[in-house]
Structure 1
Amino acid sequence: MSAENELTTGTPAPDLLALHESIADLFATQGDWRRAYRHLRSALDIARAGSLRDPLTSSYNRRYLDQRLPGFPATGKLAVALVDLDRFKSVNDTYGHLLGDRVLCRVADLLQEGLPPDAFCARYGGEEFALVLPGVNHRNAVWIADAARARIARHPWSELQPGLQVTISVGLAHGVGSGSRQLHRADDLLYAAKRAGRNKIAYQDRESSQVITHSE
């Protein structure tokens, strides 16, 4: 099992890290440097995997996003959706930060549902997330992003707290270009979705380059 898999199967990473370090110390005191080295490498793998995960939501973090985006070829198809929770400050102010944290965790789970195998979700910062969708065509990228928006809007949030409602706005960039360029375009489109009234997805039409905002 890889260190990253260990992090996502319910085993607390800090315990695994401490265990490998302790075993490495034990073997080192016995002069068994080969086994000590092996466990130190496992400890380093766990620490590295943990450094790429957001500690609250367990999704990937900004560091992972920044590492992955430059690796996508500028000549290939890449979609990047930037997601922002609508009026999240009012959720924290009304219900408290503990509930706000639970909302962020639930949103992260809902965003990761139904992603293609090579796609991933990363917490961009605060209440913003990024969905990175390599190799998908424009139509499927729009469908995936809007399905995530609808899934969150329809989620029974009142089960967490009576009266609670959560929606997201999404800016979706798709086409040929560097990952950083797509992220920048997605950020601009996210503001278009916000200006259009929130709980919407904004993207550029392939033929006219017109910005389209969509919701139910």
Structure 2
Amino acid sequence: MTALRPEIVEPDGLADGPDLVHLHESIATLLAARGQWRQAYRHLRSAYDLAFAEQDVRPMVPEQLRREVDRLRREHAEAREQSLRDSLTDSYNRRYLDQRLVSLVAERGGGAELAIALVDLDWFKQVNDTFGHLLGDRVLQNVVELLQVDLPDGAFCARYGGEEFVLVLPDVDAAEAVRIAETTRSRVERHAWDSLAPGLRVTVSMGLACEPPAGDASTRPAVAPEQQLLRADSLLYSAKQSGRNAVAYREGGRVRLAGPASGRRGITEPRVAGY
């Protein structure tokens, strides 16, 4: 049997005077709880109109009604924000990442640069196996906090899946993106992880894909977000296969490692053909 969805009955004709005002307010609260904000505002406005229908001069909006509308707007904004956040780490989720990347690529038509770093925790399965999944969750939360330190305006961190995260750095040139990524990697490595559990050590590897301003004649055409993420993933593979705890990026047609890892031998090439 198909479950019947409860419908909200319009109050017109069911009551009058103060009762009708109260009914509109109650319906507005119910609609807001369902996320139907536009209809909630409409019922609040109806309550206001009914409350002052008999007066010749329309008074200012009552403070109580103003506060109620403000509350609904805040709840709407908070609900939308929560729908775009990862429940464990409070970083942005994959939904927000996909939406924002589409917008950023569209904006790049105006000449903006875009860098994307795909971040993966090294040997995270061993962390879970050795210290337990509850502590593994705390490690993920701490890593996100470290990834978000001193990010430039407009940059953000999103959970890509499992122990993988994405740092999105708009309007940042390649050299600055490498500096930010390497500083972040070092910050994670130097963190006092043994304060969570004796013997705990956590590092991350990164693949950093940088795209120049769209329309730059000296470079390739701009790529779609999926393609840039794929390039970042392949560079992450290079960082992993070249010893982990490193940032891999491309410069002058070659894969390089940032910071202390730059002296390593036998850097692995990405898996994406032609990149």
Give the TM-score category using the shorter length: 0.7 to 0.9
**1:43 aligned onto 2:89:** no
Shift of 1:45: 2.1
Shift of 1:59: 1.1
Rounded Cα–Cα distance in structure 1 between residues aligned with 2:70 and 2:183: 44
- Structure 1-normalised TM-score? 0.81
Higher relative contact order (CA 8 A, sep 6+): 1
Rounded Cα–Cα distance in structure 1 between residues aligned with 2:94 and 2:248: 22
SS, match of residue 162 in structure 1? coil
Rounded Cα–Cα distance in structure 2 between residues aligned with 1:215 and 1:98: 32
Q: Number of residues paired by the alignment?
A: 194
Structure 1: give runs of 5+ residues left out of the alignment.
Answer: 1-16
Q: Which has the larger radius of gyration?
A: 2
Structure 2: give runs of 5+ residues left out of the alignment.
Answer: 1-28, 34-39, 50-60, 213-221, 261-275
Rounded Cα–Cα distance in structure 2 between residues aligned with 1:77 and 1:67: 18
Mapped contact 1:82–1:170 kept (Cα < 8 A): yes
Corresponding residue number in structure 2 for 1:55: 87
Q: Alignment identity in percent? A: 53
Corresponding residue number in structure 2 for 1:196: 242
Corresponding residue number in structure 2 for 1:78: 114
Shift of 1:38: 5.4
SS, match of residue 95 in structure 2? helix
Corresponding residue number in structure 2 for 1:12: none
Mapped contact 2:121–2:205 kept (Cα < 8 A): yes
Deviations 1:26-77 (A, max 9, x none): x96x935894665444333221110011111111111110000011125531
SS, match of residue 81 in structure 1? strand
Higher normalized strand content (fraction of residues): 1
Say what the alpha-carbon RMSD is for the aligned residues.
2.6
- Structure 2-normalised TM-score? 0.65
Mapped contact 1:204–1:210 kept (Cα < 8 A): yes
Between 70-79 and 116-125, the greater mean CA deviation after superposition: 70-79
Rounded Cα–Cα distance in structure 2 between residues aligned with 1:79 and 1:112: 15
Corresponding residue number in structure 1 for 2:159: 123
